[in-house]
Amino acid sequence: MIPTKSLDLFAGIPVVDFATARTWYEQLLGSPPNFFPHDTEAVWELAEHRYLYIVQQPEHAGHARHTLFVENLDALIAQIAERGLAPAQQETYAQGVRKITYRDADGNEIGFGGGST
């Protein structure tokens, strides 16, 4: 256990083409980035102290695997579909837990999970 009462999380995703990836993640997340640390890095605040960022690092692209659990999975998936993205994979686990996975152009995986509806 990390001995702290507050924790900021920055989950990084290396990409080949920053501009292409930024557009795709804006579609996936439904908003432009919250800030840019430099010209080839963009950061989204998903919740207080919890960030997802993309950074142009072609030599590492395609290896990120992040899963975010959300309150209303069906509503989120519908919103993402309205923005033009379809899941790459859908899974159902024990007790009705579901995971919906999206893949960017580099093969990085962003999954959204939630309980049964």
Q: What is the pLDDT of residue 103?
A: 98
Q: What is the pLDDT of residue 1?
A: 67
4, pLDDT greater than 80: no
Average pLDDT in the chain: 95
pTM score of the predicted model: 0.91
Taking alpha carbons only, the member of 75, 107, 106 closest to residue 89 is: 107
C-alpha distance from residue 62 to each of 4, 12, 31, 72 (Å): 32, 11, 22, 27
Mean pLDDT of 5-23: 94
Q: What is the pLDDT of residue 93?
A: 92
48, pLDDT greater than 70: yes
The yes/no answer on whether domain 9-114 falls in CATH 3.30.70.2740 is no
